[in-house]
Amino acid sequence: MLALTVLLVPIVGIMTVVTPFLMRRGEVFAVTVPDAAARDPYLRGLKLRYALIMGAITAALTAAGAFGSFTGNAGVALAVLCVGTLLICGVSYGLMLYFRAKVQAYKKERGWHAAAQESVAVVGDAPVPHAVSLKWDLLYLPVLAVTLAIGVAGYAQMPDLIPQHMNFQGEVTEYMEKTPLTVLAPVLIVAFMAACMVFSHWTILRSKKPSNPNAPATSALAYGMFARAQSILLVAGGLALSLLGPVMELAFIGVIGLAQAGVFVVALALVMVVGSLAISLVYGQGGARVFARMSASDKLLADDDEHWKLGVFYFNPNDSSLFLPERFGIGWTMNWARPAVWAIMAGGFLLTVAFVVGVMTIM
């Protein structure tokens, strides 16, 4: 399990390395530029410098993690996993801000500005791909039912002290006492996980659908394909991760060991992360790579840089959209100028607190 865990670091690192090359051509380090500027030598050089720096950091951390894994030094491996992952994310964002400032200066120097804010809408009979229906999330209900059924049926076989935590050497370090509420812990975990996945799925469905005024139909098709692929991965990956519930119940009963359950969880997480990376490489952010060779305009048709604070926080009170694709990174973000977004965040925070308190009370 130690080796599997350490693999998360290079995967996260690779994602940051390729991020600048997965964005839409008209967005370079969260700055709006003409589509044709994607081939600009200076901008391509900035992307390459970013990739080389992040690649070097990822390689160093991967080597440290591999050393800890192969020598059995759990402390080193755990430090690489926790500190290394945070370091990769932090440095990635810091570099993005650094290169964003350079792109902003270069944009001003070149005189790139939008004479008017052009927007388009795709109409017609041709169907555009879209995210799969929320009805697929009903499949979480059978998983919840099976999780509860296994716990209830196997309660009598559970030991009085149930292993709860183990170190990387396979030694159990914490136990919990068996109570009738014990069987509810895995159910709560699956329910919370399902709620997070369903919310993410709903976000994709409700997201603003960006389009390129230079190629409205093509860009709408590309985004639709990207959203559909991401929603399928979300549903399939979420359902796979929800199997943690039955696995936990079986571990409580003693049918499988705690170490086996841990390997199962880490392996599923890796599959989810690798799947996300694969979709990103194939489609690009918002479908940017689907039709990478479509015609590019040398004019700036729309510019909303003023609404993107620090490159990643969208704040536009005149935009009714609650969700939209990220400017730098893969996935979706929120329009922080909408009161509904803050209400959603408050609700999510309260739900998370209730979940943590509930699980800690049971376990």
Same structural domain, 56 and 205? no
Same structural domain, 100 and 225? no
Among the ranges given (26-40, 266-280, 342-356), the one the predictor scored with the smallest mean pLDDT: 266-280
Question: What b/e sequence results for 239-270 when a residue is b if at least 16 CB atoms lie within 10 Å of its CB, and e otherwise?
Answer: bbbbbbbbbbbbbbbeebebbebbebbbebbe
- Residue 117 belongs to some domain of the structure: no
Question: Within 13 Å, how many C-alpha atoms sit on residue 147's CB side?
Answer: 24
Same structural domain, 206 and 348? yes
Q: Tell me how far apart the alpha carbons of residues 107 and 125 are, in angstroms, rounded to a whole number.
A: 39
Q: Tell me how far apart the alpha carbons of residues 25 and 32 are, in angstroms, rounded to a whole number.
A: 9
Give the range of the structural domain holding residue 153, as residue numbers without chain letter. Answer: 124-363
- Total domain count, the chain: 2
State the first-to-last Cα distance of the chain, in angstroms, to the nearest integer: 23
Q: Rounded mean pLDDT of 190-205? A: 94
Same structural domain, 102 and 129? no
Q: Which of 65, 81, 111 is the last residue of a domain?
A: 111
171: number of Cβ within 10 Å: 9
- Residue 79 belongs to some domain of the structure: yes
To the nearest 10 degrees (0 to 180), the angle between helices 216-242 and 140-154 is 10
Same structural domain, 141 and 199? yes
Q: Rounded mean pLDDT of 234-246? A: 91
Q: Which of 72, 90, 111 is the last residue of a domain?
A: 111
Q: Rounded mean pLDDT of 66-83? A: 72
What does each C-alpha distance from 315 to 306, 310, 319 come to in angstroms? 9, 11, 9
345: number of Cβ within 10 Å: 12
Reply yes or no on whether the pLDDT at 168 is more than 70: no
- Residue 213 belongs to some domain of the structure: yes
- Residue 224 belongs to some domain of the structure: yes
Instruction: Return the structure tokens found at 90.
Output: 């932090």
Average pLDDT of the chain is: 84
pTM of the model: 0.83
Q: Tell me how far apart the alpha carbons of residues 34 and 103 are, in angstroms, rounded to a whole number.
A: 12
SS3 at position 331: coil
Same structural domain, 138 and 66? no
Q: What are phi and psi for residue 6, nearest 5 degrees?
A: -65, -25
- Residue 118 belongs to some domain of the structure: no
Which helix (H) or strand (E) element contains residue 195? helix 184-206
Same structural domain, 55 and 140? no
Q: Rounded mean pLDDT of 103-110? A: 92
Reply yes or no on whether the pLDDT at 323 is more than 60: yes
Q: Which DSSP category does 169 fall into?
A: T
pLDDT band at 234 (very low <50, low <70, confident <90, very high): very high
Question: What is the pLDDT, as a whole number, of residue 125?
Answer: 44
Same structural domain, 74 and 148? no
pLDDT band at 119 (very low <50, low <70, confident <90, very high): low
Q: Tell me how far apart the alpha carbons of residues 104 and 203 are, in angstroms, rounded to a whole number.
A: 30
Same structural domain, 90 and 193? no
Q: Which of 71, 87, 111 is the last residue of a domain?
A: 111
Reply yes or no on whether the pLDDT at 140 is more than 60: yes
Same structural domain, 48 and 182? no
- Residue 63 belongs to some domain of the structure: yes
145: number of Cβ within 10 Å: 11
Same structural domain, 64 and 139? no
Same structural domain, 234 and 309? yes
